[in-house]
Amino acid sequence: MNTTTAFDRVFIEALEIETIIGIFDWERTQKQIVSLDLEMNADIAHAAVTDHIDDTLNYKEVAKRLIGFIEKSEFQLVETMAERCAEIILNEFPVNWLRLKVSKPGAVRGSRAVGVIIERRRAGWQAP
């Protein structure tokens, strides 16, 4: 990313995926929905000029990768799931920084959802 450009972000909101998640016996046998909200830095200036998908962060490819990974996973903790998803994004896509919210809807009675929000960045990368 050119450090003279703005800190542009590409986002995915409320990506719902079924998976095995949780620590209780019933959670180990019954798929539940997790919901992801994701913000990723991306230099989108060139794509705005060319109007071509190859010049930007392809959010559909990010979503497909996370869906495939999470559907096959069987984590006990949303913390672990969030960390592994962040690693995938930073290692496989042109992203230097991300904020990821992983929610388990209905996990606590009376709440809409519970979960974690993490921010991760490549080592040595500084926001412009």
Is the residue at 127 inside a domain? no
Instruction: Count how many residues are written for the chain.
Output: 128
Is the residue at 100 inside a domain? yes
- Give mean pLDDT, residues 86-108: 95
Answer whether residue 29 shows pLDDT above 50. yes
pLDDT-derived band at 1 (thresholds 50, 70, 90) equals very low
Is the residue at 3 inside a domain? no
Is the residue at 1 inside a domain? no
Q: Where residue 87 sits, what CATH number does that domain have?
A: 3.30.1130.10
Is the residue at 4 inside a domain? no
What is the span of the domain harbouring residue 15?
A: 9-121
Answer whether residue 5 shows pLDDT above 60. no
Is the residue at 21 inside a domain? yes
pLDDT digits (tens, 9 = 90+) for 68-96: 999 999 999 999 999 999 999 999 999 99
Answer whether residue 60 shows pLDDT above 90. yes
pLDDT at 115: 97
Token pair of 128, please?
Answer: 């412009």
How many independent structural domains does the chain possess?
1
Query: Distances from the Cα of 128 to the Cαs of 2, 44, 91, 119, in angstroms?
Result: 9, 14, 21, 16
Is the residue at 112 inside a domain? yes
Is the residue at 46 inside a domain? yes
What are the residue numbers of the active site?
Answer: 104
pLDDT at 128: 65
